[in-house]
Amino acid sequence: MASSFITFKKKILALQEYSLMLKDLFLSIKSINKCKRDAINEMYLVGSQAFLLVLLGGAFVGIILALETGYQLDLFGAKTLVGRTVSLGMVRELGPTITGLLLAARTGAKNASELGAMQISEQIDALRAFGTNPVLKLVMPRTIAAMVMFLPLTAIADMSGILSGMVVTKLSLHVDTSFFWNSAISALLIKDIFVGFTKPILFAFFIATISCFYGFNTRGGTSALGKNTINAVVVSSLTVLVLDFILTKIVWELL
Amino acid sequence: MIRLENVSLAFGDKVILDNTSLSIKKGEIAIILGPSGAGKSSILKIMVGLWQPDAGRVLINNKDISKLSELEMLPLRRKMGIVFQGNALFDSLTVKENVAYFLREHGGIKESLVNEKVSEVLSFVNLEGTEKICIDELSGGMKKRVAIARALSFDPDIIFYDEPTTGLDPINSKSILDLIKRASSRGATSVVVTHILNDAIYIGDTLSVINEGAVVETGTVYEMLRSENKFVKDFFYEVFQDAALLQNKIL
């Protein structure tokens, strides 16, 4: 009982520390120009280097979605609606979520391990001691890079999912590509695209800040670094799923 | 210049500093001396403002920094240099990039002046020609020199050294201590935290002996050697023992 109370207390304290880091991050916005170069470097690492991962992830999800829904719709003679299902599924839900989960693992692990190693070797203390704001220097560029790059990456996941879904529908379900395409495009409304591209911005913000927070709070040796990296990936991934649920619920209720 | 007034710090039940007071004058080399776990590095981190005390005041040039926020501390820290125990060099950067890092970060300095300053401080620490070498390729002694060069690069008013010779061989230790003396002669106040008595005696203008989170005694080397305090006597016993040992060897 006592130990679970202490664990609960630690979680509350961690939440408080995370909020304080976010406060620092928002207060640093006025100095955002100072981290332009670091943000561009991070964009390359977070964005360009994740291109293939997102392309393949999106493609396979699109294929699976097309096959699973195609076979079920075929039972009712409605397999021409596969395009609609795949495009709505990819743009509204699976594109942002798969991109979020893949990048929570990739970017989350990168941020937490990099900052954790810097914390252990006192490099973050050195930044602070020499008058550099570590949140502006380390968290801001990573957050900007993630928020900027998650949008095109999500678009890539959406497109590769829809296109690979179209190819597999043609080959396995023998649905003409024009049928697929027409149904896919006509199903998409502005609100679907709005929802599909709002989610990655929020996912990116939380993945970047949560993973940086875990990196900043690494104490001890290499085992703590490993543990915190795992925690960063787990918490970021769960946050993506919970946020996805909340946003989907809000959208269905409001829009 | 630096004054700690009744500073206390605890992590949970563990008391780190207990009502500690200390005063360091401008331009001197002040040594904070004590056994491992006595609270030496904690004092240093409080002086730099990396940690905030639970109670008491920390005055740097008569300005109380104990309650300043991280953002309020930044301009003050730009007048302080610190050499960390593990050097805390940016291992993905070269020697030059490490030394120039804070000059560039603080901005307002032309690149030609940055280059000039880097060359000057690298020459001061006898590391000319190492500008393009990566940190990983340096020996322990060289890394320490780079860390000192980085701390000196923006001509700080105060330089803090955390265990500057720990892990170094006697020759490298001696050269680092000489470097601290030379750096101090440029006008900066130096605060050196160490547990190595010989180092403290070699470079210290004043020594503050600390034990269990409290300053036991402060004074010159001469005053320390004549101290009647039991802990100080025990701590300095090593000096007399070494002298006796050396005498016996020679005889």
CATH number of B26-51+71-250: 3.40.50.300
Tokens 């990048």 correspond to what residue?
Answer: A103
| Closest among A213, A251, A226, A227 to A96, alpha carbons compared | A251
The one-letter amino acid at A63: I
Cα angle, residue B100 at apex, residues B97 and B104 outer, rounded to 5°: 110
Rounded CA-CA distance B10/B140 in Å is: 33
Q: In chain A, which residues have their Cβ closer than 8 Å to the Cβ of B90?
A: 123, 126
Confidence (pLDDT) at A53: 93
Q: Interface pTM (ipTM) of the complex?
A: 0.80
The answer to whether A211 and A245 are in contact (CB under 8 A) is no
**Whole-angstrom distance, CA of residue A130 vs CA of residue A244:** 40
CB < 8 Å to B88, chain A: 121-123, 125-126
Å from A4 to nearest chain B CA? Answer: 18
Residue B125, min C-alpha distance to chain A (Å):
19
Helix (H) or strand (E) holding B112: helix B111-124
Decide which of B232 and A237 is more confident.
Answer: A237
Measured between alpha carbons, how far is A93 from A90 in angstroms, rounded to an integer? 6
Distance, first Cα to last Cα, chain A: 45
**How many angstroms separate the CA atoms of B179 and B173, rounded?**
10
Beta carbons of A27 and B50 less than 8 Å apart: no
Strands B2-11 and B14-24: antiparallel
Phi, psi dihedrals of residue B126, rounded to the nearest 5°: 60, 45
A252 at interface of B, judged by CB pairs closer than 8 A: no
Give the side-chain half-sphere CA count within 13 A for B181: 13
- Judged by a CB distance cut-off of 8 A, whether residue A182 touches chain B is no
- What gap in Å lies between CA A139 and CA A21, rounded to an integer? 9
Extents of the domains making up chain B:
26-51+71-250
A chain contacts of residue B135, beta-carbon cutoff 8 Å = none
CB A107 within 8 A of CB A207: yes
A14-36: average pLDDT: 90
Q: CA of A114: which chain B residue's CA is closest? A: B92
Counting every residue written for chain A, the total comes to 255
Cβ-based contacts under 8 A for chains A and B = 57
Question: Letter for the amino acid at B157?
Answer: D
Q: Compute the distance between CA of residue A126 and CA of residue B167 in angstroms, rounded to an integer.
A: 20
Cβ contacts of A34 on chain B, cutoff 8 Å: 107
Q: Are A255 and A195 in contact (CB under 8 A)?
A: yes
Helix (H) or strand (E) segment spanning residue B90: none
Chain A residues within an 8 Å CB radius of B89? 123, 126
**Per-residue DSSP letter, B129:** T
Whether the pLDDT of residue A216 is over 80: the answer is: yes
Query: How many residues are recorded in chain B?
Result: 251
Q: What is the dihedral of CA A82, A83, A88, A90, to 10 degrees?
A: 100
CB atoms closer than 10 angstroms to residue B245: 10
Q: What percent of chain A has pLDDT over 70?
A: 99
| pLDDT confidence bin for A135, thresholds 50/70/90 | very high
The span from the CA of A109 to the CA of A123, in Å, is 19
Q: Say yes or no for a CB contact (<8 Å) between B82 and A24.
A: no
Name the maximum alpha-carbon separation found in chain A.
70
Whether B82 and A129 lie within 8 Å, measured CB to CB: yes
CB within 8 Å: A130 and B82 = yes
pLDDT, tens digit, for every residue of A164-195? 999 999 999 888 899 889 888 888 888 888 88
- Tell me what pLDDT residue A208 has: 96
Kindly identify which residue of chain A lies nearest to residue B44, measuring between CA atoms. A129
DSSP 8-state class, residue B155: -
| Residues in chain B where the model's pLDDT stays below 50 | none
For B75, residues 6+ apart whose C-beta sits below 8 A from its C-beta are A131
The per-residue pLDDT for range A40-71, each reduced to its tens digit, is 999 998 888 889 999 999 999 999 999 999 99
For B82, the closest chain A residue by CA position comes to A129
Q: Do A131 and B74 touch (CB under 8 A)?
A: yes
Q: Is the pLDDT assigned to residue A118 strictly greater than 70?
A: yes
Nearest to B105 among A121, A122, A132 (CB): A132
Tokens 């002086």: give the residue: B47
> What's the gap in Å between the CA of A216 and the closest CA on chain B?
14
- Is residue B88 within 8 A of residue A126, CB to CB? The reply is yes
| Alpha carbons A33 and A181: distance in angstroms, whole number | 43
- Per-domain boundaries in chain A: 34-254
3-state secondary structure of B33: strand
Residue B59: beta bridge partners? B3, B64
Mapping DSSP onto H, E and C, the string for chain A reads: CHHHHHHHHHHHHHHHHHHHHHHHHHHHHHHHHHHHHHHHHHHHHHCHHHHHHHHHHHHHHHHHHHHHHHHHHHHCCCHHHHHHHHHHHHHHHHHHHHHHHHHHHHHHHHHHHHHHHHHHCCHHHHHHHCCCCHHHHHHHHHHHHHHHHHHHHHHHHHHHHHHHHHHHHHHHCCCCHHHHHHHHHHHCCHHHHHHHHHHHHHHHHHHHHHHHHHHHCCCCCHHHHHHHHHHHHHHHHHHHHHHHHHHHHHHHHHC
Task: Dihedral sign for Cα A98, A25, A6, B10, please.
Answer: positive
Contact flag B88-A125 (C-beta cutoff 8 Å):
yes
B69, B32 contact by CB (below 8 A):
no
**Optimal mutation site among B51, B82, B85, interface A, most CBs of chain A within 10 A:** B82
* A38 has a chain B CB within 8 A of its CB: no
pLDDT, position B154: 83
Q: Would you give the DSSP letter of residue B134?
A: B
B6: alpha, beta or left? (left if phi > 0; alpha if psi -120 to 50): left
Please spell the DSSP secondary structure of B179-224, one letter per residue: HHHHHHHTT-EEEEEES-HHHHHHH-SEEEEEETTEEEEEE-HHHH
- 3-state SS, residue B12: coil
